[in-house]
Structure 1
Amino acid sequence: MPHFQKQMMKQVVHFNLAEDCMNKFKLNIEKLCKTVQYLPLGTDVEGQRVKDCMLVLLPVLLKKSHDNFNNIWAVLLYIFVINGTAEENLGTLIYNVQTEDDSDMICNWNHLGVPIVPPSQQAKPVRKDHSTEETFQLSWWTPFIEDIMEDAINNRLDSKEWLYCSRCPAV
């Protein structure tokens, strides 16, 4: 009987820890995870089209329990998905991130080729169909870089877009 009680105590502690983690997840992280999935795909879990990306982003920015890096991440993802944002929207987004140093973080992405303020119309890259792959509810989006890396490994990069990488020998 004492051995059984000791096992039960360990299981109760484990259950309580798991419950605390799940409560933290539900309060803070779940909306952020959904936002990070909804924005790049433009659809929700059920496959319904997201009509306004800003409505998906605002609950994350207005939630004060997220740290600034998560907010910056969500803002940059939003800007990247819509291929730049208007100056007045950028000001509002930076205001919601809340510090001046963080606004520099967002604006400096322009130096990495991410259009912060929209350029003239740019063509979006063609994506592979990942609908047949097994996914989880909060991680069904496959980043475009994964497609590029697979093509690089298989030596299938377009020589017009990837001048230097397409000449590499097969791996």
Structure 2
Amino acid sequence: MLTIIAAASENNALGKDNQLVWHLPDDFKRFKSLTSGHYIIMGRKTFESFPKPLPNRTHVIITRQKDYEVPEGCIVVSDLQEAINICPKDEEVFVIGGGQIYKQSIDLVDKIDLTRVHTTVEADTFFPEIDTTKWELVFEEFHAKDEKHNFDFTFLTYKKVNS
């Protein structure tokens, strides 16, 4: 199963200057628990936004750069289809960004795990619109802002509608 996992604001903002524009510890915990032990597909800029590879995950990095150097255990491919093909078919694989990779993969994935951050922010990277004729909301869990979270947010899970 191929799953997109992302956090986006009300205006679908993902980030600015290759950084997230909020700090939501509960979203990080959910991301870690869902993706640990799995393959994660990402673009080069998303990979470069991490201080180091995320533990207990196999990183598949998409880049057009030839001879792109990555730490041991990371896989480099030249396009999304190659990234998907290299991943195991019998387990969940996560597409973790960025904006262009989400846009290319949204029609190919089976599920979307989205954290909707209830704010509008300035950004240079955006999540694609979710077409509700193609996607059914199957899970929703609201979290109010608190001392650790500056914004309200909702965990949303969408499954592709069988056509």
What TM-score, normalized by structure 1, do the two folds share?
Answer: 0.27
* Greater strand share, structure number: 2
Q: Which has the higher contact order (CA 8 A, sep 6+)?
A: 2
What TM-score, normalized by structure 2, do the two folds share?
Answer: 0.28
Larger Rg: 1 or 2? Answer: 1
